[in-house]
Structure 1
C-alpha cells in the first residue's frame, strides 16, 4: 500500500482499490458530515434516514466513476412506505438527496420491517456524462425491501459482472454530538478473460422435464475475493477513526491490495435563484397564477429545503 494509507481523509470520500492477484477492483465509501447534513436537514425518522443513507452510499460508490463532469442519479419507485428515493451525484463531488414517505403508514409499521418500508418496485441508475455522450439508464427490480440486493441484481442481469455490495448506516457519538454516518463496499471480478467472468445461467423456464442443467463452477479467484469482502463488518464501514485504506488493508492485505487517490464528496445542491426563476418563466401565466398563495409564489427545494419567495408581478409578460 502507498503512503496514502497514513494521510487519507476519513470522511466523505470514496477510495478505489484493486487486488490484482484476484482480478478484483472495488471502492469503499465513507460518508460523515455530508450525509449528516442531508438527513438532519429534513429531520427524517430513523428508518427513513437509514434507507436514504444506504442510497447515498450506493450512489457515490457508482457515481464517482465519473471523472470531472457528468451526473449520476439513483432513484427508486416502489409501493413501500418510502415510495421514492432520489440521490444525485454531480461530478466531481456534489451530493444531494431526498426521500418521500407516508408518515401514517410509517407509524403503523413494525420495527425492523424493511420489506414494507421500501417495498417492491424498481431501482433506476441514470448516467449523463455531458457533451455529446448519450444518456444511459439501467433498471433493476427492488424486492424484499433491499437496496443491496437490487444493486446485485443490476450487476448480475444488466452488466453481467460478478459483484459484492455491502451498505451500512448508523449514528455514532462524536465530540460534536450524534452524527449520521454511512459506508459502502463494492467489489467486482474483472479478469482479462471474459470466460473467467461468466456467472451461473438463470434457470431455463421452458426446459424439458428431466433436463439437467450443467454444473456451474465459480472462478476460484472470485470465490476467494468474495469471501474476503464478506468479512467486512458494519461497524468497520461506520468507524470514524478507520480510514478506507486501513479497511482495504484489513480485508485484502494477504493478497496484496493497491489503493488509489480518494475522491472527495460534499453535500451541495444545484438549485439557485437563477435556475428557479428560469423554471418559473417557463410556466404559462395560468400555471403561475395557480402557484400564488397570499399574494406570493413560494418555491421550496425538495433536496436542500431552501425556500424562495417571489412576487408574481415580476414574471408577468
Structure 2
C-alpha cells in the first residue's frame, strides 16, 4: 500500500489499520477542537486537564474497536482515597465525552506533575463494552496500576481479553489549545473474530516485531498537526508487505443531555420522590457534569 492511497486524516478522526502478515490491527487518533470543547466545560487545573486528555484519547481508541456502531465504550477510573475520586469517559458512534471529579485543595499539595498513583491512590479501572445490536454487556476491572492510564489499559486487555496490546498517548498544551494523540496496536493470532485467544503470548515473534516498531513512536509524532495519521502509520510500518488503512468516524463532543431526556428519566420516579427534588420554584434542577449545564425541569 502506498502512503497516500487514502484521504489524509486531520483532527478529531480515528484511523483504522491492519497488518495482515503480522496478525495485528491498530487504531490511531489525534484530538484537537473536540478536546478543547470537552476540557473547557470546567475550569480544570493543569494536572486534571492532562489526565482527562489522556483518558479521552484512550477512550477514542478503544471505542473505535467497536463493530456495533450504536454500541458504547465506557472507561471509568475510581477510588475512595485518591485526589481524583472519579474519572469517566465514554464513546458512542463517534461521540466522545468525559468528566473528572477531584479534590482541588489536595491536588494543589501535589505539585505540577503528580503521578498516577498520587492522583488515584489504590484505585481501579473499569472498561465496559455495551453492544446494542446483541444487548450484551462486557466489563473488565483491573487495578489502576502503572505510570499512566494507557499502561493500565494494556493490563486490562492482556488480563481480561488475552489480547497483547500496546497503547501510546501524547498530550501537548499551548496557548492555541490542547492537542492529544494516541496509537493502539493489538496482536490477534488466527483472526479477529470467533477464536479463543488464551494462546496469545507477549513473546510471540510477530507481536515482538510489531510492538517494537509501534513502541518507537514519539509524543511529538503523536501530537504534530502537520503529520497526518496515515503518515504516522507509514513511518512505523513502511517495511511491511501490506498495510490496510481506512479512516474511521469523525469525532464530536457527545454530551447527550437535553431537557426532554431528563424529563423522561424523571417521569419514571414516584410523585413523592419528584416532590422532594423540587426547588422553591417548583422545578427539578439537573446538573450535567459532562457539559456543566443546569436543566430546570418543570414536572406536574
Q: Does residue 1:58 correspond to 2:58, yes or no?
A: yes
Distance in 2, matches of 1:31 and 1:52, equals 12
Partner residue in 2 for 1:179: 177
Partner residue in 1 for 2:78: 77
Partner residue in 1 for 2:222: 237
Task: State the number of aligned residues.
Answer: 291
Among 257, 277, 295, the residue aligned to 1:308: 295
Partner residue in 2 for 1:122: 124
Residue 118 of structure 1 contacts residue 146 of structure 1 at CA under 8 Å; is this kept in 2?
Answer: no
Residue 22 of structure 1 contacts residue 221 of structure 1 at CA under 8 Å; is this kept in 2?
Answer: yes
Among 255, 262, 273, the residue aligned to 2:248: 262
Residue 190 of structure 1 contacts residue 197 of structure 1 at CA under 8 Å; is this kept in 2?
Answer: no
Partner residue in 1 for 2:108: 107
TM-score of the superposition, structure 2-length normalised?
Answer: 0.89
Higher alpha-carbon deviation: 99-108 or 136-145 = 136-145
Shift of the 196–64 alpha-carbon distance from structure 1 to 2, 3 Å rule, reads closer
Among 127, 140, 143, the residue aligned to 1:141: 143
For residues 2-26 of structure 1, what are the alpha-carbon distances to aligned partners after superposition, in whole Å with 9 as ceiling and x for unaligned? 5756632311111111222322211
1:135 alignment partner, SS class:
strand
Q: Return the structure number with greater helix share.
A: 1
RMSD: 2.2
Shift of 1:195: 8.9
Residue 170 of structure 1 contacts residue 180 of structure 1 at CA under 8 Å; is this kept in 2?
Answer: yes
Higher alpha-carbon deviation: 142-151 or 182-191 = 142-151
Shift of the 196–146 alpha-carbon distance from structure 1 to 2, 3 Å rule, reads same
Partner residue in 2 for 1:297: 284
Partner residue in 2 for 1:251: 236
Distance in 1, matches of 2:177 and 2:217, equals 22
Residue 2 of structure 1 contacts residue 259 of structure 1 at CA under 8 Å; is this kept in 2?
Answer: no
Shift of 1:143: 1.7
Higher alpha-carbon deviation: 3-12 or 275-284 = 3-12
For residues 156-196 of structure 1, what are the alpha-carbon distances to aligned partners after superposition, in whole Å with 9 as ceiling and x for unaligned? 111111111111222245xxxx2112111111112229799
Shift of the 301–58 alpha-carbon distance from structure 1 to 2, 3 Å rule, reads same
Distance in 2, matches of 1:28 and 1:120, equals 30
Residue 125 of structure 1 contacts residue 137 of structure 1 at CA under 8 Å; is this kept in 2?
Answer: yes
Gaps of 5+ in 1: 201-217
Partner residue in 2 for 1:167: 169
Distance in 2, matches of 1:4 and 1:285, equals 61
Partner residue in 2 for 1:188: 186
